[in-house]
Structure formats: structure tokens, C-alpha cells
Amino acid sequence: MRVDITMQLTTEKFTLKNLDCAACALKLEKELNALEGVEEALVDFAGLTLHIKARDMQAVVAAAHRIAPEVELIPKSGPQAKPGADKTELRTPVPRREIGFLLAAFVLFLIQLFFEKYFHQHHLGLLEAALVLAAYLLAGGNVLLNALRTIRKGLFFDEHVLMMIATAGALIIHAYAEAVGVMLFYKVGELLQNKAVSRSRRAINRLLAVKPDRAWVQTPFGFEEIAPEQVRVGDLLLVKPGERVPLDGEVITGRSWLDTSALTGESKPQTVQIGDQALAGQINQSGALTLRVTRPFRESSVAKMLDLVENATARKAKTEKFITTFARWYTPAVVILAAAVAVAPPLILAGATFEEWIYRALVMLVISCPCALVISIPLGYFGGIGKASREGILIKGSNFLDVLSQVGTVVFDKTGTLTQGVFEVREIISLYGFSQEQLFEFAAAAEYYSNHPIARSILSDFAKRGKTLDASRIMDHTEISGKGVKAGYGEHTIFVGNDQLLHAEKILHDKCDFDATVAHIVVDGRYAGYITIGDALHPDAEQAVHDLRAQGVHRIAMLTGDNYCTAQAVGKHLGLDQVFADLLPEEKVTTLEQLGAGGPQRKKIAFVGDGINDAPVIARADVGIAMGASGSDAAIETADVVLMTGSPAKIVAAIAIARTTRTIVWQNIVLAFTIKGLFLCLGAMGLASMWEAVFADMGTALLAVVNSTRVLRGK
């Protein structure tokens, strides 16, 4: 297929309707990735979603239809997306016709089983063969059709092909009961497996069912119900009691309690009134509210959360990638081994018959399908991501679940992470002839255009005292990264910042130690005084540190740009192992690298921060964690994990969910390998029948699927 290489790459998502086979999902992914013009194709079997990056989407859809004709691609993103495509039903309906065929086949199977001796005694072999063939075709007709379609494409290691070879071989060697029975129970097991997978998907997606589906928008003719995607910034919305807030907005009228658990995992309702922010996805519990929309739906909190969770499945863990690769080689290897078992012993061993050893080979074929692994592992990771999102923790990929489970060192930023980031001016010390009022005015003028939490606290306290600034007198405002700010105010040049700023500007000053955050003030090149600012610890910071140690995290440290004495006071109160203070953003990265180099092998290092200056170190950590409630956009975009609240305790929950998920995934791997390995050996030795093999195969898949959803029920 020729594709114009000048075409731009685009990324889209499709719902995969009627995809009910894990092996088919692997085949679709492999063949789409082999297409010219496709940079990346990823099939998420757990979420029934295709993530595709390609130059020609129409060619991709056409190719997917050729590869899997029964699978319908429904656009979830891009220009062809249909409204409600993201809510595609994940239930796998069982056709009544198929159940009817299975019941008829079962009746014929029982007749053949009970009258087998009668047929033999009265030489009614043709009648018996007709009954068996009818039962076989009724039970496995669609299996045979799918197998033939697969063979026509040049593929020979599909589960349907293997089942056709195994049961057809049993018919040839006159093992009628096994041929029909295995096909019957394979189909029944397949139906049960599909039902279990469907139920698991729905259980996971119920955790994510927080997207509002309507909004009441004020018009000249009253309130009109429209889709949230059609609402514009500035529109007025009515949110009735019991309804979800459809978009982020500011409360204009009304007072109510909002259930925020869908976004933050917090069970305690939050009260809102005029002037407060309400976020999309929250549930209005009491009074009616009128909101003015502040962000379009695609940029709302709930839209970003759902997008992060959905795209998380596109980042596969190493374990998941290994199993995908393993499955491609495992089945061909078992088929080759089975062929050797069927042919070699009768040619080598005295007294060995082809009929006996072919039967053993057929048993091995039945157990060779890797479905238990291919289905259960993505479901396990998807369940972990869904559970985390329900707790207000957004994990951007199953690969980060794996890294979180191996964290041995947690490094915190201080301001806004371990502390609340709500600063209050405690003391103003003026030196060298300036009054406190003058010094405070100079500091407020220098910080006027800054968004730093310290700047906001100084300006807030300045306003509370009833004072105002003439902004026209402020000139040449400059942010000095990691140190402070510089500005002109009237005829004065003012610097406000930390101790590093004083050294950088070579300002003479007395050495002073503080147990609070300090903003030093320099006016016209002379040290004029300082303002001390307090920042309270987060209420659950101490408990979070204790719980992390209980989880086996061996080292907890803090990196901060704040002064040494303040940092040491916080570190001592919380019982941290190491505290590094007076750090610039680039120095934080260097220090984190040193911490990582000094840690134990195979243990990962996590960094938790919220500010724009934390983005570099968040990116450098093995797993970067951002505080979503107070964090900057840069930190949230860079992070691998986003906490929807400012609570450090959520880190404990994230690690616990990651470890539970990894445990479940490895339980499934061990279960599948053990049972399949055992039955391959038993089959080769003639100690297992085809009945036992099909029960073992389908039973393993069912157990693995059920086990995969256990994370959803965890506390």
C-alpha cells in the first residue's frame, strides 16, 4: 500500500465494537503497525480502544476491516467522532441463535454418548458419524469459519485454527466424544469468558462514569438543555440539586454542598457560595447554583481527567509488552512441539502408534492458547488505573504503575506539598531608616506582577491592611529564577528575594537564621530589611510520612528553594531522613540524581512537587508526581502521576494501588504458566485428555479475569 509521505501524522482513537478475542486484538495491533504510513498502533483490549498515529486514517480503517471484518471502528476523536462514542456499550451480548445451536449440539452429543455401544453393535457407524458431524458443526460452526478466514490470510496460529486442528484431528482418529465435547465446552467457556471480561470492563468503567451529559444554559427564552461540548466561556449555567456540574465555572448565585469524590476521592462534601469555583464532574447535593463558565469543556477538570485515564492504557508496562511478545512466539513453539510429539515417537519408539501420539499432540494444541495471559494482564493494569482515578489519583500509564510499585525513595518539595502553600505575613523588620509601611509598600510593588505564593501572600496582606498601590509607578519587573524579583518603583530600584539573591547582587547584610520563610528587601542597592512569612504544614503530612515508612519506603527527603533553617525545622518535625535547602531548580535536579545514585539497586525514586520550578526535577525522577489541586500546569503536564487534591496521603494510596496491581498481574502470570506448563507435560506423557485440557485452558482464563478485577474491591 502506497501512502503519500508528505501527509501529516494525525492521532485518533476508535472504539472497537465486536472485538471479543484477545488474540485477535494482538493480531490487529501487529498488522496495523506493519502498515506503511502508520507510526504507532496500539489496541487496548481492556478498554476496547484503538490508539492510532498515522498519515492516512481512511487507509487504516480499510486495513482494519480487512484484518478483522467483524470488528467495527467507531471514531472517538478527530473530525469523524460521533457524539457519545466515548460511552459505547461494553457489554458483549450473547446471540440467542448461538445458544440455541449449542443446546441442539449438546442434545445430539448426549445421544451419541449414551448410544455409542448400540451404534457399534448394530453397525450404525454412518448414523453415528452423521450425529457427531451435526453436533460438531452446530457447536463450532463459527469457530471453523473464523479459522478458515484466518488461514486465508496466511495465519496459522490463531486460537480458532488451533481448536479446529485439535478437534478435526480427534474426529479423524475416531475420538468422537472428545471432538464434540471439547468444541462444546470450548464455546461455553468462551461465552463465560466474554461475559466475565464484559462485566470486568463495566466495573472498571463505572468508576470513570463521571462525564456530565447535559448542561442547562441561560438563553433569552429561559434555560435550554444542550451538550456540555457546545457551551461557551462566559455562558450562565443552572445546576440543579442532584445534577453533575457540567463545566468549570464561578458561582454567581446560590449556595450548596458539592460531592467532589469523583474527582478527588474525598468523601467529605465541599461547600461553595458566590465567588467560589465549581468543577465539572462534581455533584450538586443541596441548593441550586448559577455558574459563569470559565473554561470550555475540553479544558475542564473532568475532561482532562478522563483523557488522562483513557490515554493511560496507551503506555504499556514492560510486563504487558513482554507478554504481548511472548504470546507471538509461545503458540507457534507449542504447535511445533506438538507436531514433533505426533510424529517422532511412533518413528523412534517400538510399539508406539500414530493414533496414540497424535491424540497426545492434540491435547497439547488445546492448551496452547495464551488467552489467559493476553486478557487478564491488560485488565489488571486497567483496573489499577481505574481504581486510582476513583481515589483522585491520575496515573498516566500502566508503565508508571510498575514504577510506583518499586519506589524506595520519596523526595518532596516543601511549599504547597508538605506545607499548605498558604503564606501569612508574620513580621516586618525595617532597617537603615525606612519605616515598616514604606518597606511593605516597596515589597508589594516589586511583587505586584509575580504569581509566586510568597508574592501573593505579601499582596494579600497589603490589601487586607487597606493599602493600595499606584501600578503606573511600577516599571521593569523581572523574575530572577529561584532567587526573587526585581522592579523599578518610582525613582527606586527594588529587589525582593532569598539569601541567594543577596549574594548574587553582592548586598552586604548580617548573617541571620530564621525558622520561617524570609523575603529580603533591597532598595537602591542597600539592604533595607526583611519580611518573615509563615506556612503551616499540611494536616496529613506527618501521617503520610509515617505511612510511607510502614509501606517499606526506606528514605524520605525534601528539596526546597527555601532557607536552610526553615527547611530543617520542617524536616525535623516530620522526621525526614535528609533535607536540602537553598536550591535553584537546576540544583534540585542535580541533588535528585545524587540521591538516585546513592539508593539501593532496583529501587525507584519518586519526586513530589507542585510549582513551575519543580517541572525539571519532576521530569528527571523515575516517577514524577504533581499536586493537581495547587500545582502549576507545567508540573501537571510533566508529571507521570497527578494527585487531584493537595494531600500527601494520596501518595501512600497510589503506591498501595500500584503494588496490589503488580501482585495481581504476577499472580495471573504464574497461574497461567504453571497450569499450561503442567498440562503440556501431562499431555505429552499421555496423562491428560482433551477434556481436561480444555477445562484447564478456559478455567485458567476465567480465574485470571476474575482475579484481575480484585484491585477494584480493595480498600
Q: How far apart are CA 559 and CA 586, in angstroms?
A: 11
- Specify the amino acid at residue 576: L
Q: How far apart are CA 319 and CA 324, in angstroms?
A: 9
How far, in Å, are 25, 74, 88, 203 from residue 20 at the CA level?
8, 16, 15, 17
Q: How far apart are CA 23 and CA 21, in angstroms?
A: 5
Which residues have a Cβ under 8 Å from the Cβ of 264 and sit 6 or more positions away? 392, 629, 644, 645
DSSP code string of 581-632: -S--HHHHHHHHHHHHHTSPTT-EEEEEE-SGGGHHHHHHSSEEEEETTT--
Contact indicator for 690, 360 with CB cutoff of 8 Å? no
The values of phi and psi at residue 13, to 5°, are: -125, 140
C-alpha cell at 73: 471502528
Q: How far apart are CA 232 and CA 248, in angstroms?
A: 11
Give the residues across from 474 on adjacent strands. Answer: 489
For 391, half-sphere exposure in the C-beta direction (CA atoms, 13 angstrom radius) is 28
C-alpha cell at 541: 503530612
Contact indicator for 290, 373 with CB cutoff of 8 Å? no
Q: Compute the 3-state secondary structure of the chain and give helix, strand, coil in percent, each to the nearest 5.
A: 50, 20, 30
How far, in Å, are 197, 326, 644 from residue 203 at the CA level?
10, 28, 22
- Specify the amino acid at residue 323: I
**What is residue 649's DSSP assignment?**
H
Q: Of 61, 64, 62, which Cα lies nearest the Cα of 28?
A: 64
**What is residue 445's DSSP assignment?**
H
Helix/strand number for the chain, H first, E second: 23, 26
**What is residue 477's DSSP assignment?**
E
Cα-to-chain-centroid distance, residue 150: 33
In the block, residue with C-alpha cell 485454527: 161
Q: How far apart are CA 236 and CA 253, in angstroms?
A: 10
Give the residues across from 624 on adjacent strands. Answer: 607
Residues taking part in catalysis: 413
Q: Of 513, 534, 519, 311, which Cα lies nearest the Cα of 421?
A: 534
Which residues have a Cβ under 8 Å from the Cβ of 696 and sit 6 or more positions away? 367, 675, 676, 679, 688
- Alpha helices of 153-251 — where are they, by DSSP H? 159-172, 176-207
Q: Of 690, 696, 661, which Cα lies nearest the Cα of 678?
A: 696
How far, in Å, are 164, 333, 336, 342, 704 from residue 329 at the CA level?
20, 6, 11, 20, 21
